[in-house]
C-alpha cells in the first residue's frame, strides 16, 4: 500500500490486495481473490470474492464489485460503478458517468463526456457514449449501442440481437426473440420487434418500425417513415416526405420522394411510389400497385389486381 496525503484501507482474506492512494481515498477487500486499486485525487473502492477486481480513479470515483467474475474500472474526471456476478464487466468513464451490471454475462461500457449504462443478464452488452446518453439492457441476447451527441436506449433483447446507433439524435430499440437495428442521425427512430426483424434509419427526422413475426424496414431522410408488419414484410422509404406502411400477412413496399405514400396490405401485396405527389393503396387478398408523379393515385384491390399510374395530376 502507498498513501500520499490520502487514505488507504486494504483487507485480504486468502487473497491479495494492493492499494495506491495519492491525494485520495482507496478501499480494497479481497476474499479468495485479487484486487488492485489506484486513486489519484479521487476515490476508488473494490470488492473481490473468488475473483478479480481492478479500479483506477483520476479526479473521479470508481467502484468495483466482482463475485466469481472480473471487474475493471477506469474513471477520469467521472463516475463509474461496476458489478459483476459470474461475468465480466469493464467500464471506462472520461468526464462522464458509466454504470455496469453483469450477471453471468459480459458488459462493456465507454463514456466520454456522456452517460453510459449497461445491464447484461446471461448475455452481452456493449455501450459507447460520446457527448451523449447510452442505455443498454440485454437478457439472453446481444446489445450494442453507440451514442454520439445523442441518446440511445436499447431495452429487453430477450434471446435476440439489437444494435442501435444515435448521432445527434435519439434511438430506441426493443427486441424480443428477434433482431432490431436502429440508426438515427439528427433524428428520432423507434423500433419494436417481436419474433421478427426491424431496421430503421432516420436522418434529420423520424422513423418508426414495428415488426411482429415479420420484417419491417424504414428509411427516413428529412421526414417521416412508419412501418408496421404483422406476419408480413413492410418496407418504407421517405425522402423529404411521409411514408406509412401496414402489412398483415402480406407484403407492402412504399417509396415517397417529396410526396406522401400510404399502403395497407392484408393477405396481399401493395406497392406505392409517390414523387411530388400522393399515393394511397389498399390490397385485401389481391395486388395493388401505385405510381404517382406530380399527381394523386388511389387504389383498392379485393381478391383482384389493381394498377394505377398518375402523372401531372392525370388520373
Q: What is the pLDDT of residues 53-89, one digit of tens each?
A: 777 777 777 777 777 777 777 777 777 777 777 777 7
- Count the neighbouring beta carbons within 10 Å of the beta carbon of residue 30: 26
Maximum CA extent, the chain: 86
Question: Is 282 within the bounds of a domain?
Answer: yes
pLDDT of residue 80: 79
216 touches 197 (CB < 8 A): yes
pLDDT of amino acid 7: 58
Average of per-residue pLDDT across 105-127: 79
Backbone phi, then psi, for 80, in 5-degree steps?
-145, 135
Alpha-carbon dihedral sign for residues 158, 159, 160, 162? positive
Up-side HSE of residue 171: CA atoms within 13 Å toward CB? 34
pLDDT over 90, % of the chain:
0
Range(s) of the domain holding residue 288: 2-310
* Comparison of pLDDT for 154 and 213, the residue scoring more: 213
Chain-centre distance of CA 82, in angstroms? 20
Mean model confidence pLDDT for the chain:
77
Question: What tens digit of pLDDT does each residue of 287-297 get?
Answer: 888 888 888 88
Q: CB–CB of 37/52 below 8 Å? A: no
Number of domains in the chain: 1
For 10-55, how does the pLDDT look when each residue is reduced to its tens digit (9 = 90+)? Answer: 666 666 777 777 666 777 777 776 777 777 777 777 777 777 777 7
How does residue 280 score in pLDDT terms, banded at 50, 70 and 90?
A: confident
Q: Quick check: is 209 in a domain?
A: yes
Asked, for residue 109, whether it belongs to a domain, the answer is: yes
pLDDT of res. 314: 39
- The pLDDT of residue 312: 62
Collect all residues with Cβ–Cβ distance below 8 Å to 40 and sequence separation of at least 6.
22, 23, 24, 57, 58, 59
Let me know if residue 12 belongs to a domain. yes
pLDDT(233) > 70:
yes
Averaged pLDDT, 294-312: 81
pLDDT given at position 137: 76
For residue 315, being part of any structural domain is answered with no
Query: Is residue 124 in some structural domain?
Result: yes
Residues in the chain: 315
Reply yes or no on whether the pLDDT at 313 is more than 50: no
Mean pLDDT of 260-265: 87
Of 29-38, 151-160, 241-250, give the range with the top mean pLDDT: 241-250
- For residue 178, being part of any structural domain is answered with yes
- All three cell numbers of 251, joined, read 407484403
The reported pLDDT for the residue numbered 116 is 80
pLDDT greater than 80 at residue 236: yes
pLDDT of residue 158: 59
Q: Is residue 232 assigned to a domain?
A: yes
Least confident among 22-26, 94-98, 146-150, 271-275 = 22-26
Residue 135 and residue 51: Cα distance in Å, rounded?
27
Residue 315: pLDDT above 60? no
Give 134's contacts (C-beta < 8 A, 6+ positions apart). 109, 111, 114, 115, 116, 117, 127, 128, 145, 146, 147, 151, 152, 153, 166
pLDDT score, position 24: 67
Question: What DSSP line would sit under the chain, residue for residue?
Answer: -EEESSEEEEEEESSEEEEEEESSEEEEEEESSEEEEEEESSEEEEEEESSEEEEEEESSEEEEEEESSEEEEEEESSEEEEEEESSEEEEEEESSEEEEEEESSEEEEEEESSEEEEEEESSEEEEEEESSEEEEEEESSEEEEEEESSEEEEEEEESSEEEEEEESSEEEEEEESSEEEEEEESSEEEEEEESSEEEEEEESSEEEEEEESSEEEEEEESSEEEEEEESSEEEEEEESSEEEEEEESSEEEEEEESSEEEEEEESSEEEEEEESSEEEEEEESSEEEEEEESSEEEEEEESSEEEEEEETTB-
Amino acid at each position: 500500500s502507498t498513501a500520499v496525503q490520502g487514505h488507504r484501507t486494504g483487507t485480504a482474506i486468502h487473497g491479495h490486495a494492493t492499494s495506491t492512494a495519492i491525494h485520495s481515498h482507496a478501499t480494497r477487500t479481497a476474499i479468495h481473490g485479487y484486487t488492485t486499486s489506484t486513486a489519484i485525487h479521487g476515490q476508488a473502492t473494490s470488492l473481490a470474492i473468488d475473483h478479480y477486481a481492478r479500479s483506477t480513479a483520476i479526479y473521479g470515483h470508481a467502484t468495483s464489485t466482482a463475485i466469481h467474475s472480473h471487474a475493471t474500472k477506469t474513471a477520469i474526471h467521472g463516475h463509474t460503478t461496476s458489478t459483476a456476478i459470474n461475468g465480466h464487466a469493464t467500464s471506462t468513464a472520461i468526464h462522464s458517468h458509466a454504470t455496469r451490471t453483469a450477471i453471468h454475462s459480459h458488459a462493456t461500457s465507454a463514456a466520454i463526456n456522456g452517460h453510459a449504462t449497461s445491464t447484461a443478464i446471461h448475455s452481452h452488452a456493449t455501450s459507447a457514449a460520446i457527448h451523449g446518453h447510452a442505455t443498454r439492457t440485454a437478457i439472453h441476447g446481444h446489445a450494442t449501442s453507440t451514442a454520439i451527441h445523442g441518446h440511445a436506449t436499447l431495452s429487453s433483447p430477450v434471446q435476440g440481437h439489437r444494435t442501435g446507433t444515435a448521432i445527434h439524435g435519439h434511438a430506441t430499440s426493443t427486441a424480443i426473440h428477434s433482431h432490431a437495428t436502429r440508426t438515427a442521425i439528427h433524428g428520432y427512430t423507434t423500433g419494436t420487434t417481436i419474433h421478427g426483424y426491424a431496421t430503421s434509419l432516420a436522418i434529420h427526422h423520424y422513423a418508426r418500425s414495428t415488426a411482429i413475426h415479420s420484417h419491417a424496414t424504414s428509411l427516413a431522410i428529412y421526414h417521416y417513415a412508419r412501418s408496421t408488419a404483422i406476419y408480413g414484410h413492410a418496407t418504407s422509404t421517405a425522402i423529404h416526405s411521409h411514408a406509412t406502411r401496414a402489412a398483415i400477412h402480406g407484403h407492402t413496399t412504399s417509396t415517397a420522394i417529396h410526396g406522401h405514400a400510404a399502403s395497407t396490405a392484408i393477405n396481399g401485396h401493395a406497392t406505392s411510389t409517390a414523387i411530388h405527389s400522393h399515393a394511397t393503396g389498399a390490397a385485401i387478398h389481391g395486388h395493388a400497385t401505385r405510381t404517382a408523379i406530380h399527381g394523386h393515385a388511389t387504389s383498392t384491390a379485393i381478391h383482384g389486381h389493381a394498377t394505377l399510374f398518375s402523372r401531372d395530376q392525370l388520373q
